[in-house]
Amino acid sequence: MEQIFHGGTIETIDAGKTPALWVKNGLIAGRGALEFLQKQAHPGAEMVDLAGKTLLPAFNDAHIHIWKVGDLLTYMLDLRGVASIREMQERLREFAVKNPTRPWILARGFNEATLAEGRMPTYKDLDEILPDRPCYVIRTCAHIAVLNSAALKIVGPISNVPEGGEVRSGGIFTETALGLVTRHISPTGAEAYREMILAAQDKILEHGIAAATDPAVMPDLLKVYQEMDRAGELKIRINAIPILVPDGGSTPLPFPAFYESDFLKVNCVKLFSDGGLSGKTAALKRPYLGGNERGVLRLECDFFQNLALKAQEAGFKIATHAIGDAAIELCLEVYQRLDRYNSKGLRHRIEHLGLPEAIHLKKMADLGTFCVSQPIFLYELGKNFRQYLPEDYLSRVYPYRSVLDAGVGLAFSSDAPVVKDFNPLMGLQNAVLRQDNSRHDIASSEKISLSEALRAYTLGAAEAGDDKFAGTLSTGNRADFVILEQDPYTISAEQLSTIVVNETWVNGLRQKKVKTST
């Protein structure tokens, strides 16, 4: 099968614009003048007139919890966007009535900074509407949750809170302590995982995303991914990163087996060094605003180093969740020690990288460590940052200009469903504008250009995922691309998120036709 795309704007990422693009057997066969490509291609090649639209490499979300996105589309109650505890209660009540046989009522998505009451919900709030059925409500970040009394009764008395977690008053659990709860909830079955993945995959393709990294995969989920891959059910390329230490546990899981096919890759493992910035569990060197809280370090240095070294010696790259400056410092201390034994030249990753210092960025550049971050946080969680961070922290939160100027490889992503909007075009807008949803500027000196942001959502993400045949429209690369209604370079930054994704192509095949122009 051959096609020649022409008649619109074609952005290659690596070499600017090209008049036409030749696709053959799922690969980019050439680019250049239309007349030249017509001579090179088979006479029967399909001529695809873009009719003024824009074609560019498909987006790559380098950190998105695929099955959890699907869970909120299928099984779990989605509370993202609720404006008050009262609204949350009503939503929970309605969900419980509609699901009378569920043993637990599970929900996710509240953010206390946007609730009218201005506080965390507690077990008392949940008891008002669910006094008898166990209820587990996860904060949007998934690092904090609140239980009702029925759930607390099931969990039982707690004599030993896991290292790196907290059990607070009000039925609130954080970080590794969440494992004390989840062990009492029936695990997700294989068929349910499959439904979640298929639902998420469909939404992901709608946003022009052809590749995604699921960054915290348990063994049962990994098995489902592999079964779906063998059955030909995966339509996006998935980089699965198995987790090594589950919440509530101190014994590492076995290393996974390496796996690579056209649509599934396993060559990296995941560790958590701290919590989330928007919930004040990311580990800081100095306290959050208005108190003595400094977040939670989830890993002890020697344990972290020994486990990471074993993973590296086994050939795995390491992706470490590190947001606060204290966690980033710990992570880089370990990565520097690993570098002495890194004979294979593996390039490790830091996920999120919320508050790096200049010295941290220099170390990352020297080590070749990737920054995998989420500009959408600035928009959806910016109010939390403004409420919780001292000015010196706020002025450099998620510092993309500094990351690029230091020579650190930058990959963009969404971390959905931590956020509701995982449209890459919205991510591009946030990287360029750096405003929250109240139009407050967030560290405006850290803005980057549209070209730099596009690169981070395409080539940068491909490089962080060790994919040498994606991210640009270079000859020999896979024909994974998106067709947009408008050229991002011809509109204002404020309009980027309004661009319509018309089509998503994977391996030279149209996987998703979202909308057509009228």
Instruction: Report the percent of the chain where pLDDT is more than 70.
Output: 99
In a domain, 251, yes or no: no
Same domain, 28 and 127: no
Lowest mean pLDDT among 22-36, 158-172, 389-403: 158-172
Q: Is 397 a domain residue?
A: yes
Give the Cα separation of 81 and 88 in Å (integer). Answer: 10
Looking at the structure, tell me whether residues 276 and 421 fall in a common domain. Answer: yes
Span of 86-90, 384-388, 393-397, 509-513 with lowest mean pLDDT: 509-513
pLDDT digits (tens, 9 = 90+) for 345-354: 999 999 999 9
Confidence tier at 340 by pLDDT (50, 70, 90): very high
Q: For 117-141, how does the pLDDT look when each residue is reduced to its tens digit (9 = 90+)?
A: 999 999 999 999 999 999 999 999 9
Q: What DSSP line would sit under 320-365, residue for residue?
A: EEE-SHHHHHHHHHHHHHHHTT-TT----EEEE--S--HHHHHHHH
Decide if 212 is inside a domain. Answer: no
Task: For residues 380 and 455, state if they share a domain.
Answer: yes
Q: Does residue 107 sit in the same domain as residue 35? A: no
The whole domain housing 131 covers 72-182
For the chain, percent of residues with pLDDT exceeding 90: 97
pLDDT at 248: 72
Q: Is the pLDDT of residue 515 over 60?
A: no
Judge if 42 and 104 occupy the same domain: no
d(CA 25, CA 507): 8
258 lies in some domain: no
If asked whether residues 132 and 164 sit together in one domain, one would say: yes
Contacts 24+ apart (CB under 8 A), 94-99: 96/129, 96/130, 96/133, 96/135
In a domain, 87, yes or no: yes
**Whether 60 contacts 462, CB under 8 Å:** yes
481-484 sheet: strands from edge to edge: 17-18, 9-11, 54-57, 481-484, 501-506, 509-513
Question: What pLDDT, on the 0 to 100 scale, is given for residue 516?
Answer: 46
What is the SS3 assignment for 138-170? EECCCCEEEECHHHHHHHCCCCCCCCCEEEECC
Same domain? 280 vs 328: yes
Which of 214, 198, 297, 298 is closest to 256 using CA atoms?
Answer: 214
Mark whether 14 and 94 lie in a shared domain. no
Tell me what pLDDT residue 514 has: 61
22 lies in the same domain as 93? no
Count up the domains in the chain and report the number.
Answer: 3
417/496 same-domain check: no
pLDDT score, position 513: 61
Same domain as 328, residue 451 = yes
Mean pLDDT of all residues in 452-467 = 98
**At which of 124, 153, 182 does a domain end?**
182
CATH of the domain at 174: 3.10.310.70
Q: What average pLDDT score do residues 53-80 get?
A: 98
* Helical spans, DSSP H, in 27-117: 34-40, 66-74, 85-98
Spatial separation of the C-alpha atoms in residues 170 and 148, rounded to whole Å: 9
Residue 31 is predicted with a pLDDT of: 98
Give pLDDT, residue 517: 43
Q: What is the pLDDT of residues 290-313, one digit of tens each?
A: 999 999 999 999 999 999 999 999
pLDDT in tens, 471-509: 999 999 999 999 999 999 999 999 999 999 999 999 999
Residues 418-450: tens digit of each pLDDT: 999 999 999 999 999 999 999 999 999 999 999
User: Do 9 and 97 share a domain, yes or no?
Assistant: no
Q: At what angle do helices 358-367 and 325-339 cross, to 10 degrees?
A: 30
